[in-house]
Structure 1
């Protein structure tokens, strides 16, 4: 049974600094010569980009509903065999959602670091920390870290107000050299943050003076023997668009394609690269095509090659932003419309209000595919949905799934390891 020191970084709510602390810890322990594996709780693409930058390794998603307890257990056991430290960034507040970060920690016996923003707060900090520690008896609190602290005197006040039995781990001072900027989908993509490496390095230096510079106790991760995947995609070449416009890609999805026997290559529509001519299928993931619409529309080498791929009847799976790229037209929040690929009839418009958010599952003859939706655009199309996804606690229709020839398109971001047979069917152009 593999074991490895592990911590889950959480807090009372979003905006406490979980990503900042997790990234800083990852870099700190790398600098101490340790191998660090980082995970992100829940469906997320942006935080993992920053965490990967800090840890130097791909960041997998851990979600008891989307990936399943067995899937999470396997990922943790594999990491424990390779790493000296496992760090998991939680999602929202510690007890928010079903399942939530506390459920994950309890399922695998992982101690929790509670990060609490102490801005405009004094002794109430201790009350919040105590509430988090006592709310559920099945979770173990490793200690409390104060963030956004105004001064050393402020930190002492917070520490003095912490109830007996709760470990004070230290604090991070408020600093413009640490804070990570935000955008409507959360954090910016890692490549877009000015001085990202410097920000993470400053955080790492600050955390070096806290108790979090020490390794926690090891956690044992039991896993069942892995069942080899049948090579349902043997001999296939699958091209994936990957750049600043198309970056919402679960590493587990790519790994699945490879385990199914496919050869995977990447290309950049934003750099006007052609889809490889021998590609049997194409994946257009989500991202920010609306921020790069003019460039994408003008990149003739990419657009021509993708249209030729579609004209040849080769399969295309397009999720969220990838689907918008296939439409006739995309309008940004300023009202500027840009002609897109025209491979799916319809138009989409960005809006300032969130259009859809939540976990989703798609039920087909191959079984269920889990995933999530998160988008700020609305879409109109004459196409009739072939399916509708549904929410985990409701039979209410969720995101539509469209099929046009060999194109499958939806707002839903699928977690492909939840249904390898369905993914293989889609990329082979089969009905589902």
Structure 2
């Protein structure tokens, strides 16, 4: 199964978080800009008011320009913060009448500049004394340290508010995404709890956004369910139609061997062997198909495991006796467990048949069973054991390195039975020699 390469909720959350972050950053920048403009306009208004008061105090007495600086008006500028104040009053010729000669202002109105290495906001106004004399120019400047500090404080508060809002909105977005994706998680849980052949429709009481998805899933499962039912019916009919003539062919071959003349017995005997091998292969192929497509449809029932093992061992009586091999039921007592008896019987047949192929003459095959948080069945022989990695033998048509005759389906059938019952099949070599197969069903 491929691993998911991304999460819808994570992608949506990251996108929304980035959007919220951009909005918070924009709010921070806009707040800082608006605050700076507001405070600077306030400073310009105060500079303008004080400059006009100074201009009103300038008078012409004869040919002499006289004025009194209204120092009390400067308190208006330093009311909110102790800023440095600079001023300059020049006559119509540009000569400095009072203040700082180095204080320059390019034109009338408000400007931002630098004076004596300090950032300065200035306001310049002119007052005409007489048409033939000209105008007096008043320039008033004030540093902006406290203004910038105030803007920084406002920006910090804005940033703190934006971060708080970002965290709260992110939490709300995350909760909303989880709530919005809850129907999808419910569908995922409903599908993951199903067995392989459960194609019943999902509940269609879902949000409009995923209703089309649920309808498509239900339609797909309906089609797969119909296809599975058709396959099961075909396998059931094929099993009946094929097994009967194959069994008849094997019986006819055995009868022909018994009645054949002595000179034809070897050839007819070989024909009978091939007929039995063909019958065995076809039976295992049909068993594999039946288990693959029909096992999940059978409900587990309480089964006497010890009796089932005895029944399977009895079916191998002739083959075991012919090779002087004893198959022992080592279960030790009555054991009952809820299983699919048909599937478990097929698995036991495959495991014992596999052990019988590799067990040497005059040896034992032990079939053990016990309960430990489920049913365990072990089939152990005294042969040469598995060569290489035994896990590959669980694949259909896989054979060992001994090249003995066989279809290569027995262990794969047992593995499929274990998986269909929610268990597993373990293949390993016993420390004292021989192969050991353990089947577990919960």
Give the TM-score normalised by structure 1.
0.24
Which structure carries more relative contact order (alpha carbon 8 Å, separation 6+)?
1
Higher strand share: 1
Higher helix share: 2
Using structure 2 for the length normalisation, give the TM-score: 0.23
